[in-house]
């Protein structure tokens, strides 16, 4: 009888240990962090997607570009190679949403001041007005770190096509001519593969907090 209870005790301990291991494995599987979505033109609100690419279901990436920053330097995709970055569209004379957006970009800059993997990119939607000199004055006023945050100007049609066909940031109407004007509060989170991983209201502090959380999530996923 004593032998039976001893054997039963060993069995019970072994069963408890095995059950604990199984429960722990299941818990870890169920709590695997869900990755951020990869946005394609066909799964973004249609009003933000140019009609010529609304059918695209995969492989959408930010197109190559060549623009000029606040220091007169040519900025291309190579400057953002292997970087996570946040992009937006603004203009320096805007008195409504842009100052709020710029302040929030500054908060992101401050959060990642010592992180070389995270950068910022702000495109002027009034490039004729926003010359290199104007962007530089604005950058100094707003505390822009030139090594981390580029304010860019250049060809208007290129900038507007980037907004509409790459970043999926604004309504699809317009052709980028002198009468065209886009105005959007959207911030876009771009991964190291040039893919869109999130859209955020650049005027909303809660959305900016979520953006920072998502940057951290993206950093973790790209280390795997």
Known binding-site residue numbers for Cu cation: 94, 98, 183
No. of H helices and E strands in the chain? 5, 7
Distance CA 219, CA 59 (A): 21
Residue 154 falls in which region: left (phi positive, over 0), alpha (psi -120 to 50) or beta: left
Phi, psi for 150 (deg, rounded to 5): -105, 130
Distance CA 136, CA 61 (A): 29
Distance CA 152, CA 139 (A): 11
What is the CB-side half-sphere exposure of residue 24 using CA atoms within 13 A?
6
Binding positions = 94, 98, 183
């Amino acid at each position: 009888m004593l032998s039976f209870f001893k054997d039963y005790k060993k069995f019970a301990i072994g069963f408890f240990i095995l059950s604990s291991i199984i429960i722990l494995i299941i818990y870890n599987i169920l709590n695997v962090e869900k990755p951020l979505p990869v946005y394609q033109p066909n799964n973004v609100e249609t009003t933000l997607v140019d009609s010529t690419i609304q059918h695209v279901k995969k492989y959408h990436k930010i197109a190559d570009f060549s623009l000029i920053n606040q220091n007169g330097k040519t900025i291309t995709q190579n400057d953002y190679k292997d970087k996570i970055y946040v992009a937006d569209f603004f203009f320096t004379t805007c008195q409504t949403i842009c100052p709020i957006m710029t302040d929030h970009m500054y908060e992101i800059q401050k959060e990642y001041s010592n992180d070389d993997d995270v950068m910022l990119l702000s495109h002027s939607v009034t490039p004729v007005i926003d010359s290199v000199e104007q962007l530089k004055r604005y950058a100094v006023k707003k505390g822009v770190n030139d090594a981390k945050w580029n304010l860019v100007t250049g060809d208007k049609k290129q900038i507007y096509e980037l907004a509409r066909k790459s970043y999926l940031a604004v309504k699809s109407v317009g052709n980028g001519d002198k009468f065209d004007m886009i105005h959007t509060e959207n911030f876009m989170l771009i991964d190291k593969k040039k893919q869109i991983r999130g859209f955020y209201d650049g005027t909303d502090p809660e959305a900016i907090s979520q953006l920072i959380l998502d940057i951290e999530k993206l950093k973790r996923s790209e280390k795997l």
